Amino acid sequence: MKSDLIKQQAHLAIQKRLDYTFRRPELLRQALTHRSFSAAHNERFEFIGDAILNYTVAKMLYDTFPKLTEGELSRLRANLVNEGVLAEIALEINVGDGLYLGSGELKSGGFRRPSILADAMEAMFAAVSFDADFFEAEKVVRRLFAERVKQVDFKNQGKDNKTTLQEALQARRLALPKYRIEDQICCNGEIQFVISCDLGELGFVCQAQGSSRKAAEQETAAEALAWLEKKFPLKKSRK
């Protein structure tokens, strides 16, 4: 069939862009199959691909930014690993052309829907790991994210976390956070502040400890921001 040939060409082009050639092309095919098309769809792949992606970008950031705290690394990762960025990469490497969608999704433009594209990207990372191993999948992710990790949003690195969190909440028309001193404890003869950051109706609360109230507040703000950007990305949310 003509459409089969077109798909096969799209799959060849995608493999070229991934710089990875499948020994078992049926794995790539399943990674590109939306649940609306057939029962052998990509949702279970996505579960694995998401974990490969999260580890790989975590390790890239860890190695690139040796001075950042865990909270700051989490935030950078949330900026890099989200539907918006994945859909962007999917468009760059023409993943849409290789997708298998049910007729409903086809008619409604599913081949350029960010959630469908992002899920297919994650599923492809899993497919590479099944076809070869974890390291090959890691390499594919590294190639696709190398430039993005280098150019990761340093604008906000200069800005303090509390300001960035406040702006992020305002952009989503959400209430401002409440910071509270939960405890003051003595560690090695030094006072430590235990601060909580409460996002109110969103139901998110986190705590951090620091030698100054301000430092601990900044840390809670970084964690709250990472959570907010993951759960409520400004682009249309996943699922």
Instruction: Enter the tokens of residue 202.
Output: 């969103």
Identity at 231, one-letter amino acid code: K
| Cβ contacts of 119 within 8 Å, gap of 6 or more | 34, 42, 43, 46
The reply to whether 147 sits in an annotated binding site is no
DSSP string covering 198-222, please? E-GGG--EEEEEESSHHHHHHHHHH
Is 46 marked as binding a ligand? Answer: yes
Of the candidate residues 156, 204, 214, 235, the single one contacting a copy of itself (CB under 8 A): 204
Q: Which residues are CB-neighbours of 75 under 8 A, at least 6 positions away?
A: 161, 222, 223, 225, 226, 229
Expressed in angstroms, the distance from the first to the final Cα of the chain is: 33
Residues between 144 and 173 with contacts to a copy of itself, criterion CB under 8 A: none
Of 2-10, 22-30, 40-48, 155-163, the window that binds a copy of itself (rule: CB under 8 A) is: 40-48
Q: Extract the tokens encoding 42.
A: 């990509």
The residues that are catalytic are 50, 122
Q: Which is nearer to a copy of itself, 15 or 114 (CB)?
A: 114
Which residues in 101-120 contact a copy of itself (CB under 8 A)?
102-105, 108
97 three-class SS? helix
* Closer of 104 and 158 to a copy of itself (Cβ): 104
Residue 230 within binding range of a copy of itself, rule CB under 8 A: no
119 is in an annotated binding site: yes
Residue 212 interacts with a copy of itself (CB under 8 A): yes or no: no
> Should residue 214 be labelled a site residue for a copy of itself when binding is judged by CB under 8 A?
no
Minimum distance of a copy of itself from residue 90's CB (angstroms): 19
Residue ranges of E strands in the chain = 178-187, 190-198, 205-210
Work out which of 74, 79, 82, 164 binds a copy of itself, going by CB under 8 A: 74
Residue with tokens 């949003």: 153
CA distance 30 to 19: 19
Q: Work out which of 35, 142, 214, 230 binds a copy of itself, going by CB under 8 A.
A: 35
Binding positions for Mg(2+) are: 46, 119, 122
Under the rule (CB under 8 A), what is the footprint of a copy of itself? 35-37, 43-44, 46-48, 51-52, 54-55, 58-59, 62, 68-70, 73-74, 102-105, 108, 134-135, 138, 185-189, 192, 201-204, 206-209, 223, 231-232, 239
